[in-house]
Copies of this chain bind each other. A is one copy, B any other.
Amino acid sequence: MSDKDNNNKKVTSVEVARLAGVSRSAVSRSFTPNASVSQETREKVMQAAQALGYRVNKLASSLINNRSDLVGIIASNMDNPFRSRQVEYLAKTLLANNLRPILLLVEGEEDPSRIIGMLLEYNVSGVIVTSDTPPQSICEECVTLGVPMVLVNKDQTDARVDRVLLDNPRSGRIAAETLFASGCRRLAVVTTLKPSYSLHVRVGAFTERCRSLGIETVARFSASEQSYDGGRYAADCLMAAPEQTDGVFCVSDYMAMGFLDQLRLKQQIAVPQRLKVISCDDIPQAGWPVYDLSSIRQDPEQLAEMVVKVLLERIHNPEIPAAVKVLDVSLTERNSTAN
């Protein structure tokens, strides 16, 4: 007969109360931090709970205190390592803060009302959006319903929702300056046809900084999607292009990987001898010797910490004005921009 030998079904607080010889309230209080219980009672309760294998039913308690501690993560494009790492660290950080991530993976043109429905049905304590397409309608509904919401690296006109941004303008500027410092004078940008907010800002800041440095971006190669294959496509464009370029800014490491691989495969243009390349994210792959890619680091761990911090603040204080946190970025210089 082991301790947890209640071989059958759910144990409720009344059974714990009975075994401990106290009331159900005492049990509840014992599991509530800073509640008004004597040490003695709490110990009795905990002991009984242990023996019975009791666990508080958060679904029931959320009914009372309206805190489910469930947090929706809306994400997409998990094939991009940067995105999947982002989700990974978000999930881990939420867990570490006693919140439970519900992972909602969306794809292209998803029905937003379905997503909203899920969130609302489960009375989530908050929502984190990292997907490229956070339908405006979701934001609005969450705001009016008082569901805390944090947007990651998103533009947002609605001033009532919290946002955590990477310093995209700075990323663009660093890219320009680094290529310039490496001696590049005829630059190209590799991006997508319909860039997301952050990509758009990066490119804008890049071209602007180039201009102020007195150099021109002579070409732009836009793939239909932000992916490895998109990067390869851009490389093909570059090799076929009439303009001679000596430096390239890729909007993401993921694209840069495809870009570099395609260059290497065709062996027409050596990196970094004839062409320098820099990109954004600094995912682990950028550090792989085969790429050895200079990249502007966006630390997903730090990002996750900040997102959860902002979320928790809003949960505890729903009335404070929306925060916009901008996280610093930093250059990791590697061989792809070496002289």
Contact = CB atoms under 8 A, between A and B. Distances in A.
A59 interface: yes
Contact of A228 (B9, B85, B232, B288): B288
Contacts of A232: 289
A264 B284 contact: no
Interface in A99-149: 100-105, 107, 117-118, 120-123, 141, 144-146
Please give the count of copies of this chain that the complex contains.
2
Interface in A248-296: 261-262, 264-265, 284, 288-290
Contacts of A218: none
A95 interface: yes
B105 A92 contact: yes
Contact of A55 (B10, B78, B105, B117): B117
Contacts of A118: 95, 100
B57 A59 contact: no
Contacts of A88: 78, 84, 105
> What are the 6 tightest A-B residue pairs by CB atom distance, in nearest-first order?
A55-B120, A58-B121, A78-B88, A261-B290, A84-B84, A103-B103
20 contacts: A4-B144, A7-B144, A9-B145, A53-B145, A55-B117, A55-B120, A57-B121, A58-B121, A59-B122, A73-B103, A84-B84, A91-B103, A95-B105, A100-B102, A100-B122, A102-B103, A103-B103, A262-B289, A264-B290, A265-B290
